[in-house]
Amino acid sequence: MSSFAEKHPKLAQWIREGGLFLIFSYVVTFLKWGLLTFLPALFRGLVGDVAWTWPGINVQVLGVPLTLAIIGNSLADGGLAFTLANLSSIFIGECINFPLQRNITFRSKGPVLPQLGYHFLGTVAVFLVMNLFTCIWNPVTAAFSVPDGIRNIVTTVVTGGVSMVIIFAIDKTVFSENFGKKKA
């Protein structure tokens, strides 16, 4: 492997970073899935059954009525409790993921606050995309009697995939050697 790295240093770096990124992302994704198994019930006990959506457009997909929302969830999709659980699992996961990716995967010594800011913006983008996905996925699969456990696994895996694409692109940029350095 060391001779490969000597002959192809850029490719070896991409393989190392991509492999570590995937490993850490899957571990964090599994943690998020674990959190999504109990957090919705915890938040439901705190906030009750409350719908919370924006923009909240009522549509039908495959004959199933649902509410499209970029932020929040209809009551049928878990409401505010599910939204808070999802946000909490993402936040906790990224509190673990960011330092792993920064310090181990990319070995960055760059300016942490701008890196954290861009990583946060990527995480918000992931949340918005995935919220739109779940507001369609959850009611459609519920209408077809897909068990909650299976729905949560698929949601978590899709979230992990979307996150890997968006966050990897951001992390590859902000954790680079030249990030934050003034150009001469």
Band of pLDDT at residue 33, cut at 50, 70 and 90 = confident
Give the pLDDT confidence of 34-56 residue by residue, as tens digits: 998 899 999 999 999 999 999 99
Alpha carbons 155 and 5: distance in angstroms, whole number: 37
pLDDT at 1: 62
Sort residue 71 into left (φ over 0), alpha (ψ -120 to 50) or beta: beta
pLDDT at 92: 94
Instruction: Tell me what percent of the residues of the chain surpass a pLDDT of 90.
Output: 55
pTM above 0.85, yes or no: no
Mean pLDDT of the chain: 90
The answer on pLDDT for 78 being more than 90 is no
| Cβ within 8 Å of residue 21, ≥6 positions away | 101, 105, 164, 168, 171
Q: How many CB atoms lie within 10 A of CB 38?
A: 10
Decide: helix, strand or coil at residue 143.
helix
Cis ω before 55 (30° cut-off from 0):
yes
Band of pLDDT at residue 117, cut at 50, 70 and 90 = very high
Of 59, 53, 170, give the one whose Cα is nearest residue 105. 170
List the chain domain ranges: 2-174
Looking at per-residue confidence, does 83 or 4 come out higher?
83
- Weakest-pLDDT range from 2-6, 138-142, 143-147: 2-6
**Is residue 154 a contact partner of residue 147, using CB atoms and an 8 Å limit?**
no
